[in-house]
Each structure stands twice: as C-alpha cells, then as structure tokens.
Chain A
C-alpha cells in the first residue's frame, strides 16, 4: 500500500544552525505534499506545502524541495530558533482521492 517514510526520527541542532528533514513517498499519483508542525499537546498545523508541478517553495526561514523522479521531498529550516522545537510531519496526498498519508514524524530540538 501507499506509505511515506520520514527521516530522521529525532534531530538536535544548535540555535542558528539549519535543519533538514527528508521524506520519501511511494504513491506515484501523489501530487500535493504538505508539512505540519505539532507542538506538545497541540494539534498539527500546516507550515508549508508544495505541489507536484513545482520544484521548490520558500517562506521566510522555511523551504520545501520536491524531486518527483526520486519521489523525495524535504523540509529545510534555516537560522533555527528555540520556538522551532516541535514534531514535524510530512504528508503526501493522492491526486485522485482525498487520502493523505503521513510520515511518522521528526522531533526537532533546537538547543539554545
């Protein structure tokens, strides 16, 4: 069945450094790839997304890249801050249905 692999499961960086989280999807019909941030005890919230007709998208300190051929997409956070500490989830959405498949999450810790 469809699945999304996400790595690493935990990531610790020093404040000001960059963080990269990678996902690989299996469903060739996926065409929409959102990233969510979830703080402890809170609901997931969309932080950035990318569609299959775009290779890169940037929003201030966060960016997402997509390699359709390799079925890889990545989240890049630059100049990390303590408030970036959270669990980040990637997801892939099938173009023909409404099914979102999520990765297993990355716990990011930004050390001050």
Chain B
C-alpha cells in the first residue's frame, strides 16, 4: 500500500490563480480530511469527508472547496489564491476498526502564494 499520497509536493502561485491539491489513499478508508499547518497554530481542519459523496466544513473552510466522488480521492481546490493561504497542507485518512482508530497523514504540500 502506498498509504496517503499528495501532489504536488511544492507549488508557487500568484494571487488570484486557482489550483487543485490532490490527495489519494489506497487503504479503503472512509474518513478523509484536509488540514493546513501554520507556524505556532498547529493543524487546522479545512474540510472533511465521512464517505464518498459526503463532505463538511472544518474550522477554516473559506476560500477552499472539496469533493469526494470516490473513496480513494479527496481533492482540495483553491478558487482564487491569496497570500494568506501560504501554508503546508496535509491530507489525512482514517478508519475505525473494532474500536481502534488511526489517522494517517500524507507527506504534505507546501504552498507559497505571492
């Protein structure tokens, strides 16, 4: 299993540009999430999904869209990039089995908006 994969690893955008951060997992996990990590602020939840076709907002959803058409993929779209969206973005997936739960993170995407 590849686990949770994210592309690209690094991206530079100009203000106003749009782009999609890709996230995929091959563990058949129901739950997937997107977080952003900024210095001194920990991980903040952007959007999450509890299954294909179901998404919901997290703490900081403004400026981002998501969709979950398959169990495997959970792309994050930046509609019109702003410098405030400069951050490291982590995708994560998890599953609960027999009362045990483990959230696996992808390697991250470092985004710089100029």
Contact = CB atoms under 8 A, between A and B. Distances in A.
Interface of A: 1, 6, 9, 32, 34, 43-46, 49, 51, 89, 91, 93, 97-105
A31 to B, nearest CB: 11
Given A43-B108, A44-B105, A45-B105, A104 B41 contact: yes
B42 A99 contact: no
Contacts, number: 52
Chain B interface helix/strand/loop/mixed: strand
A44 B48 contact: no
Residue with the highest number of chain B CB atoms closer than 10 Å, among A32, A44, A45, A99: A44
26 contacts: A1-B59, A6-B42, A32-B101, A34-B103, A43-B106, A43-B108, A44-B105, A49-B101, A49-B102, A51-B99, A89-B42, A89-B43, A97-B50, A97-B56, A98-B31, A98-B33, A98-B49, A99-B58, A100-B33, A100-B103, A101-B59, A102-B35, A104-B41, A104-B42, A105-B40, A105-B42
